[in-house]
Amino acid sequence: MIVATLLSWLVAILAIVAGIFVVIAGGIWHEFAPVEDSRPTIALWGGVGLFGLGVLLFGANVWELFQ
């Protein structure tokens, strides 16, 4: 039980960190990409999605901790 909880915390933190890095990379790419290129926008939304997933997992862990 403790190992599963620690692993879920680790996944939540890694998802948040990955989301932040993807948003930063997408923003940098957006500066240098052609205007017609929609991949930076996809990268930005992917980063936001990863960040959101991490926040949801983190919130679920905190909720379970205080039950």
14-57 tens-digit pLDDT = 888 888 888 888 778 777 777 676 666 777 888 888 888 888 88
Q: What is the pLDDT of residue 9?
A: 86
Task: Evaluate whether 51 touches 16 at the Cβ level (below 8 Å).
Answer: yes
Counting beta carbons within 10 angstroms of the beta carbon of residue 25, is it exposed (0 to 12), middle (13 to 18) or buried (19 or more)?
middle
H or E element that contains 28 = helix 2-32
Domain chopping of the chain, boundaries: 2-65
User: Looking at residue 67, what DSSP letter applies?
Assistant: -
Q: State residue 66's pLDDT score.
A: 81
How much is the pLDDT for 47?
84
Q: What is the CA radius of gyration of the chain?
A: 15
State pTM to two decimals.
0.70
Distance of CA 26 to the CA centre of its chain: 13
